[in-house]
């Protein structure tokens, strides 16, 4: 016991009744994240999250690349929601460089951002199906998601990692006949989304497994600083698109879905309701969009920001995503920090899992909308 | 009559010739049958690291359907699997655990490196926490390039692995 | 406003302070309440639409943060960022605070900034880069302060659990987000 331990290991005294388990970095769920759980029989006594297995050092590398070459880098944390994670960065850089975005570009950005909400949330629902052992719930969202990916491929040229938003607008304009195709596919997608209620949300087995587990009260949700659908499922009415509208969200009619109970069932239902709301937003945006105009601003090579700092926020699939950019008159930013929804909701995990049964852990863990790559950046 | 045919002098040669006939008749088809069984039921372990896991999930979706090749997505235990598809960036924190996962799988096992990050470090070649490719950790059979590779490219990679298994020794 | 020709090789560290006449009214009221209570201990760095920045010294930050939580009704922290300024020999830690309960503050984000001295050979946890932790006032900063500790070497006194979060267990090099930690090949 007096031998020197290698770095990173620690010695602790164990109780005879309590067992320490590793919900290890490789698990049949999704993403590399470790939870060190201590169980007493079947009940979880304490939980210690151990993220960082996908920490790639995005923020350090952003200081070595200039504002434009940072774009493919900073969209990699969530590749299927890449427009939303670039959005606050582009808004911030536009304020630093003093760029004006045209009206048509703002509408195109809103459409791309809402389409990305489909691809992210449907993938999350598909993995939720696998976690609970419901394989139809994997196949249906994964298949319907391909419709939204088709639209994005027509628009941007890539299935995921679009690199579509640039400071000053978007990279290219809509292709010919895009509005009709988009409207048809969104109508079909909405019909498909409504059928999920039959197999999933009204399914008595799902209700029995997720109701009243992992209950997060309203005061706790505010005190822990949670964000996104986790917050709205606990009764707090806060959506950045409504409270601090960016681009043209102040001209569109956005309805916030707020549920009261704060358990895993509500947290799994709120993103689905948000997707149905996105269909309405896309239809309104397609109607109100100006029919012509440029979508991109010509930039000088190696643009430099002034001696300034900026903080911008956007609502993504996981919650409010903020970008804090500090610039000091060089082509590279001095510091870029992404304040992501997954990392802010991480604090709920030890808080909610204490006292839960071990069998309820997958339902609670994935209902917190935690994407490990984004939290580690 | 058989006793007259097989004398103590030519018993060795007789058994040797019988062995040759048996090898030609059974061993090659047996090897072919064993390899056939292996390549049409490759079960992958979940190493869903980072970005490429999204395209692996899309490959299991109804449109691309990698399950018709025998590659089933959802698994509980890695002691029943024989394919490691390393999907994405491996960081220095994850590398020992990746080796541990590989060592826990029973033989025969195959490795596919999917995505630019798993091959050479990709977009993150100069990061302080990323391994420049997984060649130092695992013996890779097939490299699938792309950032991320489309599901069709991944399926082509699996078919190349199947071609490789056909040529391998079975026992 | 700073003049482009006067910027030297070492980058300037303090951001620009706005002119007093054309500041937005609601934000000016907020910042006036803070200066009325604390006077010269705080310095208002800028007042922009929806964004205010307050610079505080590390000895007074607990009082200012309690005032902001109790009187101005900010209830959670959105993020905690550390920025390294080797030219000043200081590390700045910025808390972005928001409010979910007060409907008038739903657009505002208040940046509360403080500075800690910086050493050239850091020994995280055992040298002079120490700041008081705001975890008792805003519970939501718990994991953010842990990340700031391991990335920049700032020790938060009063935080129950100053361990590393994202880096590998055997990391023995400089804290990565410092400016003297160079990425290989650049």
Residue C19 has pLDDT above 70, yes or no: no
Provide the percentage of residues in chain B whose pLDDT is more than 90: 13
* Domains of chain B by residue range: 39-166
Is there a contact between C167 and B126 if contact means CB atoms under 8 Å apart?
no
Which is more confident, C140 or A27?
Answer: C140
Mutation target to probe the B interface, by most B beta carbons within 10 A, among C147, C165, C167, C173 is C167
How far is C165 from chain A, CA to nearest CA, in Å?
6
Is there a contact between A224 and C76 if contact means CB atoms under 8 Å apart?
yes
Cis peptide bond upstream of A282, omega within 30: no
Q: Could you tell me the domains of chain A?
A: 1-55 (no CATH), 67-369 (1.10.645.10)
Contacts 24+ apart (CB under 8 A), C38-47: C38/C63, C38/C64, C38/C67, C45/C14, C45/C15, C45/C17, C45/C111, C45/C113, C46/C15, C46/C16, C46/C17, C46/C18, C47/C18, C47/C23
Token duo for residue A91: 């808004």
Residue-wise DSSP of chain C: ---GGG--SSPP-SPPPPPSTT--HHHHHHHHHHHHHHGGGEEEEEEETTEEEEEE-TTTHHHHHHHHHHTS---EEEEEEEEEETTTTEEEEEEEEE-SS-GGGTT-EEEEEEEEE--SS--TTSSS-EEE--TTT-GGGHHHHHHHHHHH--EEET-S----SSS-TT--SS-TTSTT-PPTT-
Q: In whole angstroms, give the CA distance from residue C90 to residue C124.
A: 15
pLDDT tens across A257-282, in order? 898 888 889 988 999 999 999 999 99
Q: Residue A274: what are its φ and ψ, rounded to 5°?
A: -65, -35
Residue B160: pLDDT band with limits 50, 70, 90 = very high
> Number of A:C CB contacts under 8 A?
108
How far is A134 from chain C, CA to nearest CA, in Å?
32
Residue B75: predicted pLDDT: 67
For the residues A55-64, what does the mean pLDDT come to?
A: 88
Is there a contact between C183 and A322 if contact means CB atoms under 8 Å apart?
no
C131 - beta bridge partners? Answer: C156
Counting Cβ atoms within 10 Å, is residue B5 exposed (0-12), middle (13-18) or buried (19+)? Answer: exposed
Residue A96 has pLDDT above 80, yes or no: yes
pLDDT tens across C30-72, in order? 777 777 777 777 888 888 888 888 888 888 888 888 888 888 8
Subunits with 3+ C-beta pairs closer than 8 A to A:
B, C
Q: Which of C106, C108, C95 is nearest to C27 (CA)?
A: C108
Q: Residue C23: what are its φ and ψ, rounded to 5°?
A: -90, 145
For the residues C130-158, what does the mean pLDDT come to?
A: 87
Residue B139: predicted pLDDT: 92
Q: In whole angstroms, give the CA distance from residue B75 to residue B43.
A: 8
**Cβ-Cβ contacts under 8 Å, C181 against chain B:** 128
Residue C185: predicted pLDDT: 67
Are A211 and A203 contacting, i.e. CB atoms less than 8 angstroms apart? no
Residue C3 has pLDDT above 50, yes or no: no
**Cβ-Cβ contacts under 8 Å, A335 against chain C:** 81, 83-84
What residue in A sits closest to C176 (Cα-Cα)?
A60
pLDDT tens across C86-129, in order? 888 888 899 998 888 888 888 888 888 888 888 877 777 777 78
Q: Which residue among C81, C83, C140 places its CB closest to the CB of A225?
A: C140
Q: Which of A263, A221, A250, A213 is nearest to A238 (CA)?
A: A221
Residue C10: predicted pLDDT: 40
- Distances from the Cα of C48 to the Cα of A90, A310, B56, C118, angstroms: 19, 10, 45, 30
The stretches of chain A forming alpha helices (DSSP H) are 58-62, 70-74, 82-97, 103-132, 136-156, 178-196, 204-210, 218-223, 229-232, 240-243, 264-288, 341-345, 348-353, 361-367, 372-376
Q: In whole angstroms, give the CA distance from residue A315 to residue A317.
A: 7
**Cβ-Cβ contacts under 8 Å, C169 against chain B:** 93
Residue A11 has pLDDT above 80, yes or no: no
Token duo for residue A258: 């707020």
Buried b (16+ CB within 10 A) or exposed e, C6-38: eeeeebbbebeeeeeeebeeebeebbeebeeeb
Residue C8 has pLDDT above 50, yes or no: no
Asked if A52 is an interface residue toward chain B (Cβ–Cβ < 8 A), one would say: yes
Q: How many CB atoms lie within 10 A of CB A200?
A: 23
**Cβ-Cβ contacts under 8 Å, A244 against chain C:** 50, 106-107
Q: How many CB atoms lie within 10 A of CB C157?
A: 10
Residue C5 has pLDDT above 60, yes or no: no
Is there a contact between C76 and A343 if contact means CB atoms under 8 Å apart?
no
Predicted model pTM: 0.87
For the residues A369-377, what does the mean pLDDT come to?
A: 87
SS3 B60: coil
How far is A149 from chain C, CA to nearest CA, in Å?
31
What residue in C sits closest to A8 (Cα-Cα)?
C169
Q: What is the mean pLDDT of chain B?
A: 85
How far is A154 from chain B, CA to nearest CA, in Å?
15
Residue A300: predicted pLDDT: 82
Taking the CA atoms of A204, A209, A213 and A218 in sequence, report the sign of the dihedral they define.
negative
CATH number of B39-166: 3.40.50.12280
For the residues A114-122, what does the mean pLDDT come to?
A: 91
Residue B163 has pLDDT above 60, yes or no: yes
Residue A112 has pLDDT above 80, yes or no: yes
Residue with tokens 């990173």: A8
Residue C9 has pLDDT above 50, yes or no: no
Q: Which of A225, A107, A243 is nearest to A174 (CA)?
A: A107
pLDDT tens across B59-111, in order? 888 888 888 888 887 666 788 888 888 888 888 888 888 898 899 888 888 99
Q: Which of C45, C109, C28 is nearest to A313 (CA)?
A: C109
Class of domain C17-157: alpha beta
**Cβ-Cβ contacts under 8 Å, C183 against chain B:** 126-128
Query: Which residues from C are below 8 Å from B when comparing CB atoms?
Result: 167-169, 173, 176, 181, 183-186
Residue A8: pLDDT band with limits 50, 70, 90 = low
ipTM for the whole complex: 0.85
Mutation target to probe the C interface, by most C beta carbons within 10 A, among B89, B93, B94, B132 is B93
């Amino acid at each position: 016991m007096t031998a020197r331990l290698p770095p990173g290991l620690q010695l602790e005294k164990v109780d005879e009744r309590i067992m320490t388990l590793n919900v290890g970095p490789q698990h049949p769920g999704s993403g590399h994240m470790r939870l060190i759980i201590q169980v007493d029989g079947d009940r979880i006594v304490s939980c210690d999250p151990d993220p960082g297995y996908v920490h790639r050092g995005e923020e350090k590398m952003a200081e070595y690349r200039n504002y434009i070459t940072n774009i493919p880098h900073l969209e990699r944390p969530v590749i299927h929601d890449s427009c939303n994670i670039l959005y606050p960065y582009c808004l911030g850089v536009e304020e630093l460089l003093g760029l004006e975005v045209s009206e048509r570009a703002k509408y195109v950005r809103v459409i791309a951002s809402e389409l990305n909400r489909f691809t992210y949330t449907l993938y999350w629902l598909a993995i939720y199906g696998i976690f609970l052992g419901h394989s139809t719930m994997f196949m249906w969202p994964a298949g319907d998601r391909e419709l939204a990916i088709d639209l994005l491929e027509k628009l941007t040229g890539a299935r995921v990692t679009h690199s579509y938003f640039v400071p000053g607008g978007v990279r290219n304009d809509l292709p010919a006949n895009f509005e009709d195709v988009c409207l048809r596919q969104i109508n079909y997608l909405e019909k498909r989304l409504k059928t999920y209620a039959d197999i999933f949300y009204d399914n008595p087995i799902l209700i029995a497994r997720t109701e009243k587990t992992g209950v997060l009260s309203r005061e706790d949700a505010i005190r822990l600083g949670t964000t996104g659908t986790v917050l709205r499922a606990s009764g707090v009415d806060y959506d950045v698109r409504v409270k601090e509208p960016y681009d043209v969200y102040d001209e569109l009619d956005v309805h916030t879905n707020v549920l009261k109970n704060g358990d895993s069932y509500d947290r799994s239902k709120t993103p689905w309701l948000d997707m149905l709301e996105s269909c309405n937003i896309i239809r309104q945006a397609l109607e109100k969009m100006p029919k012509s105009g440029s979508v991109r601003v010509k930039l000088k090579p190696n643009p430099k920001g002034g001696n300034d700092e900026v903080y911008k926020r956007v609502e993504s699939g996981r919650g409010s995503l903020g970008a804090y950019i500090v610039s000091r008159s060089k082509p590279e930013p001095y510091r870029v920090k992404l304040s992501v929804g997954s990392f802010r909701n991480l604090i709920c995990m030890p808080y909610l899992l204490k006292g839960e049964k071990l069998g309820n852990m997958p339902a609670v863990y994935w209902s917190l909308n935690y994407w490990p790559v984004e939290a580690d950046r | 009559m058989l006793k007259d045919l097989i004398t103590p002098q030519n018993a060795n040669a007789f058994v040797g010739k019988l062995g040759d006939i048996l090898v030609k008749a059974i061993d090659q088809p047996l090897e072919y049958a064993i390899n056939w069984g292996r390549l049409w039921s490759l079960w992958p372990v979940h190493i869903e690291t980072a970005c490429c896991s999204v395209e692996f999930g899309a490959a299991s979706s109804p449109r691309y359907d990698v399950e018709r090749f025998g590659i089933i997505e959802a698994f509980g235990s890695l002691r029943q699997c024989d394919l490691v598809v390393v999907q994405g960036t491996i960081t220095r924190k994850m590398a020992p655990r990746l080796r541990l996962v590989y060592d826990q799988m029973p033989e025969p096992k195959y490795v596919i490196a999917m995505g630019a990050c798993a091959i050479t470090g990709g977009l993150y070649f100069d990061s302080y926490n990323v391994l420049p490719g997984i060649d130092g950790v695992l013996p890779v059979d097939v490299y699938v390039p792309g950032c991320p590779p489309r599901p069709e490219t991944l399926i082509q990679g699996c078919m190349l692995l199947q071609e490789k298994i056909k040529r391998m020794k079975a026992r | 406003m700073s003049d482009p020709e006067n910027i030297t090789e070492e980058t300037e560290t303090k951001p620009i302070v706005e002119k007093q006449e054309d500041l937005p009214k609601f934000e000016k009221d907020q910042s006036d309440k803070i200066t009325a209570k604390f006077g010269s201990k705080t310095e208002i760095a800028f007042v922009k639409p929806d964004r205010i920045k307050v610079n505080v010294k590390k000895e007074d930050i607990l009082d200012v943060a309690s005032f902001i939580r109790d009187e101005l009704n900010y209830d959670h922290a959105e993020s905690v960022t550390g920025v390294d300024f080797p030219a000043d020999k200081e590390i700045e830690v910025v808390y972005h605070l928001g409010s979910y309960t007060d409907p008038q503050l739903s657009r505002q984000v208040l940046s509360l900034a403080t500075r800690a001295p910086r050493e050239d050979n850091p020994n995280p946890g055992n040298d002079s880069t120490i700041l008081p932790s705001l975890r008792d006032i805003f519970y939501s900063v718990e994991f953010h302060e842990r990340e700031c500790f391991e990335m920049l070497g700032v020790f938060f006194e009063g935080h129950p659990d100053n361990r590393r979060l994202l880096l590998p267990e055997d990391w023995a090099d400089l804290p990565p987000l410092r400016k003297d930690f160079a990425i290989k090949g650049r």
